[in-house]
């Protein structure tokens, strides 16, 4: 049994899946092993080249930075997203994050794994973007952590979900602009002290995992903290990106 199958079996026990496609809600004969039907899979807005070589947004011209990345000094080395943030994708992520439909992580992990296979990045540790403890208690789980756990299981690369922590319980960022997001997240993250031992991220290449990419403020703040703690490089993978979050 592959790591993917083992992970799916584990999630089936903890978060049982409905036999209907989670997107169209119909029992179909063309269900794929990662839990959606072929028809819905074919309609999803997968990001395809040309893309921005820095953040991974879709572009009209290849090998050029998007306007956002031309203006921002992003701390992460390279990033990719799997989908454009369409209404359908937004609905799936909303159900996953806010309605507790954790079974949706199964296809999400599969799609992210397929993205990693294309880019073939080499990294040493997988780190999810942390939630503040009070936010995680309220939600009941960290959506990025479940995605990161799945990627770790399927790549056999260690997961560290404890060293990078969120120490500032920031307000929701949905309606904030770039500068407001940046101010909102200032000093929001840190790496736990290691009692004088070698830093846990020293000279390591990190894969940072989150669900959505907007302005990159969260990814930048996390990446800077990781780099300041000794990491040599930070890659970023998210499920979706787009202009209208």
Query: What average pLDDT does range 23-28 have in this prediction?
Result: 88
Asked if the model's pLDDT at residue 244 lies above 50, the reply is no
The H-assigned helical ranges of the chain are 3-14, 38-43, 67-71, 87-98, 105-119, 133-139, 143-155, 178-185, 217-228
- Which of these ranges, 43-47, 69-73, 204-208, 221-225, has the smallest mean pLDDT? 69-73
Q: Assign 245 a pLDDT band (cuts: 50, 70, 90).
A: very low
Q: What is the pLDDT of residues 136-149, one digit of tens each?
A: 999 999 999 999 99
C-alpha 34/C-alpha 131 separation (Å) is 26
| Amino acid 11: pLDDT | 57
Q: What is the pLDDT of residues 154-213, one digit of tens each?
A: 999 999 999 999 998 876 656 656 666 667 678 899 998 766 555 889 999 999 999 999
pLDDT at 1: 61
* pLDDT > 70: percent of the chain: 84
Q: How far is CA 148 from the centre of its chain?
A: 7
Pair of tokens at residue 214? 């907007």
- Split at pLDDT 50, 70, 90, the class of 109 is very high
Percentage of the chain with pLDDT > 90? 67
Interhelix angle 143-155/3-14, rounded to 10 degrees, is 150
**Nearest-angstrom CA–CA distance, 17 and 49:** 33
Which comes out higher in pLDDT, residue 10 or 90? 90
pLDDT score recorded for residue 76: 98
| Domain ranges, ordered by start, for the chain | 3-241
Q: Domain 3-241 falls in which CATH fold?
A: Rossmann fold (3.40.50)
Rounded-to-integer distance, Cα 210 and Cα 161, Å: 12
pLDDT higher for 35 or 236?
Answer: 236
pLDDT tens digits along 37-62: 999 999 999 999 999 999 999 998 88
What pLDDT, on a 0 to 100 scale, did the predictor assign at position 158?
98
**Would you place residue 215 in the very low, low, confident or very high pLDDT band (cuts 50, 70, 90)?**
confident
| pLDDT at res. 130 | 97
The pTM of the full predicted model, rounded to 2 decimals, is 0.88
DSSP string, 188-237: -EEEPP-TTSPPTTTT-EEEEEEEEESSSHHHHHHHHHHHHTT-SEEEEE
**Whether residue 6 has pLDDT greater than 80:** no
Q: What is the mean pLDDT of residues 121-146?
A: 96
Residues 6+ apart with CB under 8 A from 131: 139, 142, 144, 166
**What average pLDDT is seen over the chain?**
88
């Amino acid at each position: 049994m592959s790591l993917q199958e083992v992970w799916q079996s584990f999630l089936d026990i903890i978060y049982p899946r409905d036999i209907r496609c989670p997107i169209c809600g119909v029992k179909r004969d063309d269900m794929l092993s990662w839990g959606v039907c072929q028809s819905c899979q074919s309609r999803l807005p997968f990001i395809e080249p040309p893309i921005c070589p820095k953040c991974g947004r879709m572009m009209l011209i290849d090998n050029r930075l998007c306007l956002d990345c031309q203006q921002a000094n992003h701390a992460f080395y390279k990033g990719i997203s799997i989908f454009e943030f369409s209404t359908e994708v937004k609905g799936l992520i909303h159900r996953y994050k806010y309605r507790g439909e954790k079974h949706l992580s199964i296809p999400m992990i599969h799609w992210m794994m397929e993205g990693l296979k294309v880019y073939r990045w080499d990294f040493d540790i997988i780190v999810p973007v942390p939630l503040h403890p009070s936010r995680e208690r309220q939600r009941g789980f960290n959506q990025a952590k479940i995605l990161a756990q799945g990627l770790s299981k399927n790549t056999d690369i260690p997961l560290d979900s404890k060293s990078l922590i969120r120490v500032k319980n920031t307000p929701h960022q949905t309606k904030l602009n770039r500068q407001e997001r940046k101010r909102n997240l200032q000093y929001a993250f840190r790496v736990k002290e290691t009692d004088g031992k070698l830093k846990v991220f020293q000279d390591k290449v990190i894969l940072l995992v989150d669900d959505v990419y907007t302005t990159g403020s969260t990814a930048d703040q996390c990446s800077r903290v990781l780099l300041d703690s000794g990491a040599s490089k930070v890659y970023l993978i998210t499920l979706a990106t787009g202009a209208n979050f």
